[in-house]
Structure 1
Amino acid sequence: MSLFTLRELFFLWKLCGANVETILLKNDVIRLSPPVMTLPNVIVEELRLFGNEKGRHFYTSRAVFTLPDSNLVKKFESIDASLLLPSIELDGPDVRESNETIQSSIVKEKNVSYQAFRMIFVKKLLNAGPFKQVELRKTVQFDIPPMLRSRVWPSLLKIRPSDTLDYDKLDTESEHVADRQLALDIPRCHQYDDLMCSPSAHDRLKRLVKAWLLTHPQYVYWQGCDSLAAPFMILNFENLALGHACMTAFIKKYLHNFFLKDNSAIIHEYLTVFAHLLAYVDAELLTHLSEMDFIPELYAIPWFLTCFAHVLPLHKLFHLWDVLLLHDSSFPIFVGLAIMRQLRPSLITATFNDAILLFSDLPDLSLSRVVADSLHFYSKVPPSCSFREHKGPSDGKRILKNYIFSK
């Protein structure tokens, strides 16, 4: 266990089936009232509650309580010790390439032994710094351990320590022209997530977006910026300077000039390339949509303006961006093509109104299929077909070698 930090051990402990709230309730460390007994007497305006304050109090014990670790200890005892001591020099990035590596990301995240091994191996590559950057990219093509995503993403985005220095100099408390829209958007941003619905998260997300606007005066706030910033705020909740650096690098690479006050040329070019590629991979579907004047401007702008952060739940978005960060700025277009392929059975016979309803409330998408189809299109479509005049200066070359994905 000495190989892991306390935070990592807690993550593995929860994977073993333990639940903090259940244990504390069972041992009377915390006490909850029945929901019906917590209702206020009056609710006015924006959910301001009056009356029955005592019923809504949260009672806790001040005593120190030690959480049981027997399940985690037994799990570690059952793991082959050699798997927890991999060598990045002898084993290489393809170490433990087995059936586990081609399972879906959701399944792998629930596997205690696999997560323990991956955390140790990826941490070794991260600690080696730029000397193992190539090996790191090859390794995380399988998956990124959730507990190390906050370290892997900055590495993939090539964040330098100096990139975080200017954040503390920014005045994110004073009034800003975007404050009014942020006050409307942030309370609606991914509110199904426990962290995102907290006042602390609302405050930090507002500060992060304002910091990015202050450092990029040529850009303006577009609806969806809050959703785009949310993953970086969550991963760097205690280090917004790093979150700001990651968000800046991400937008520079994948959304160059998307947030100009007049971004019509950039958006038009992006959607035109998307339409051309859709014709390339599924001419029948594009013809059907074009005949009823259902153009990409009606449904795809929120996709590409936020790299799907505005339309996908966070747990799926994290996995999608794990793959996205290994590719160039054209990859979101191929993600869009993959989504269209998955929606094809409904779209190919849809009327205009049916299509509008479908995109206004997207069905539950299979992320493994989206990723697999995206990589397939990315590897088969000639790079010249996805060329854009307005792509960012930090964009790289399109390279795809032996990427692992599952259907």
Structure 2
Amino acid sequence: MASVSNILPLINNQMSEPLNRPRKSGSSTKRSISGSSNPAAALNKLLNAPRLSATKFRTKEDVDEGLKKLRRLILLGGIPTSEDTSLRPRIWKLLLRVDGPLAGDTYIQYIARGASPDREKIRNDTFRTLATDMEFKSRVREDMLIRLLDAFVWRNHDRQSPTQLPFRYVQGMNVLAAPFLYSLSSELEAFHCFSRFIEIECPLYVQPTLEGVHRGLKLLDRCLQIADPELFQHLRSKNLSAEIYAFPSVLTLCACTPPLAEVLRLWDFLLAFGVHLNILCVIAQLFLMRDSILSSTSPMKLLRTFPPLQAQPVIEIAVALVRDLPVELYDELVRHPFEIEL
């Protein structure tokens, strides 16, 4: 999970902790990217680093240092899946700390129990998941989505406790599951990564009230007001708040905006540095539309369907925005997907 103590120099030093406050992206970042002649080889070298000896394994500090280097490589060059299709599944599992033998028997037991208590709600959503993306539909069948989501409901049905947040199926979970089923090597891996992602990284986004989503939308308005007062005031003059125009993008962490390849590139970044940064990624998309929005008398017509996602410029703008936010506001942003307000 993202930690506020990690907030300050990754991009300043290009080697520091994942959530450190960077300077605005610019030529130094681009030079670093171009200076890497084979990013796939660099990532594979890091992923394939052997244990220290036959009897000595890496310490937590060794693992954290390796993750720090991995995040740096992701920031500077992304995950070059065209060169090695195995990279993204391996890296996502590492970033989510899903390692070791996966409990296949447990997943099979969940599936064997049949329809979960939320099956009807699940079926109402799964058939339209990324429905216009033919590549997704060819790789991920509806029954795979239903099985995974049913299993997730059963998993948490068995683990209910007064001291834990409850998890049931809620709107948007079908879209959040889609990238895992598309990218991971097996349905079993997708289930474990999705479960870890939901329960640890953004549990408040999937509560019955969608508490984390609504907190994120309020934070989007506050961040936009600081980052671009003119754009914020223009939208407000048309009675447009983030709740109205940005709900799908916040609910699904931008997975609702095609193309899927760009969504996956954006998720590489979000899994590496924290899902809270999706709020800034939505603002970045507004910036890419800024002139059109400001010149429009009816900007909601533009915002009803965002333009095709462009992950790299969105990431660069989001990284630059981190620097402009007050520390207290960024602290709220980091915590909003998972910290319960008392």
Q: Which category of TM-score, normalised to the shorter sequence, fits these structures?
A: 0.7 to 0.9
**Contact 2:257/2:308 (CA < 8 Å) preserved in 1?**
no
Which one of the candidate residues 83, 87, 92 is aligned to 1:153? 92
Q: Secondary structure at the match of 1:261?
A: coil
For the residues of structure 2 that align with 1:383 and 1:329, how far apart are their CA atoms?
18
| Residue 162 (structure 1) shift | 5.6
The equivalent of 1:121 in structure 2 is: 42
User: Which amino acid in 2 is paired with 1:241?
Assistant: L
Does residue 231 (structure 1) correspond to residue 179 (structure 2)? The answer is yes
* Structure 1 segments unaligned to the other structure (5+ residues): 1-92, 109-113, 394-407
The equivalent of 2:70 in structure 1 is: 136
User: Which amino acid in 1 is paired with 2:98?
Assistant: I
Q: Secondary structure at the match of 2:136?
A: coil
Q: 4+ runs of 1 displaced by more than 4 Å? A: 97-100, 162-165
For the residues of structure 1 that align with 2:183 and 2:309, how far apart are their CA atoms?
24
Task: Give runs of aligned pairs for residues 6-405 of structure 1, distance below 5 A.
Answer: 101-102=33-34, 117-128=38-49, 131=62, 132-141=66-75, 142-146=77-81, 147=85, 148-161=87-100, 164=103, 166-171=106-111, 174-198=114-138, 201-217=141-157, 218-237=166-185, 239-263=186-210, 265-351=211-297, 354-388=298-332, 390-392=336-338
**Contact 2:284/2:318 (CA < 8 Å) preserved in 1?**
yes
Q: 1:363 to 1:149 in 2, by over 3 A?
A: same
Larger RCO (CA under 8 A, 6+ residues apart): 2
For the residues of structure 1 that align with 2:331 and 2:151, how far apart are their CA atoms?
31
Residues 231-282 of structure 1: per-residue CA shift (max 9 Å, x gap): 1001225x2222122112222344222211123x433322221111110011
For the residues of structure 2 that align with 1:296 and 1:374, how far apart are their CA atoms?
17
Q: 1:172 to 1:344 in 2, by over 3 A?
A: farther
User: Which amino acid in 2 is paired with 1:274?
Assistant: L
Q: Secondary structure at the match of 1:325?
A: helix
Instruction: Give the greater-gyration-radius structure (CA).
Output: 1
**Contact 2:153/2:168 (CA < 8 Å) preserved in 1?**
yes
**Contact 2:259/2:309 (CA < 8 Å) preserved in 1?**
no
| Residue 298 (structure 1) shift | 0.9
| Residue 100 (structure 1) shift | 8.8
For the residues of structure 2 that align with 1:311 and 1:98, how far apart are their CA atoms?
26
For the residues of structure 2 that align with 1:233 and 1:154, how far apart are their CA atoms?
13
**Contact 1:172/1:211 (CA < 8 Å) preserved in 2?**
no
Q: TM-score, normalised by structure 2?
A: 0.73
Residues 78-129 of structure 1: per-residue CA shift (max 9 Å, x gap): xxxxxxxxxxxxxxx9xxx9869349xxxx9xxxxx6xx4333322311237
Residues 260-317 of structure 1: per-residue CA shift (max 9 Å, x gap): 1123x43332222111111001111111211221111112121111111122321110
Aligned-residue CA RMSD in angstroms?
A: 2.9
Q: TM-score, normalised by structure 1?
A: 0.62
* Structure 2 segments unaligned to the other structure (5+ residues): 1-14, 16-28, 52-57, 158-165
Residues 156-179 of structure 1: per-residue CA shift (max 9 Å, x gap): 112132664542331366123433
More helix by share: 2
For the residues of structure 1 that align with 2:74 and 2:321, how far apart are their CA atoms?
20
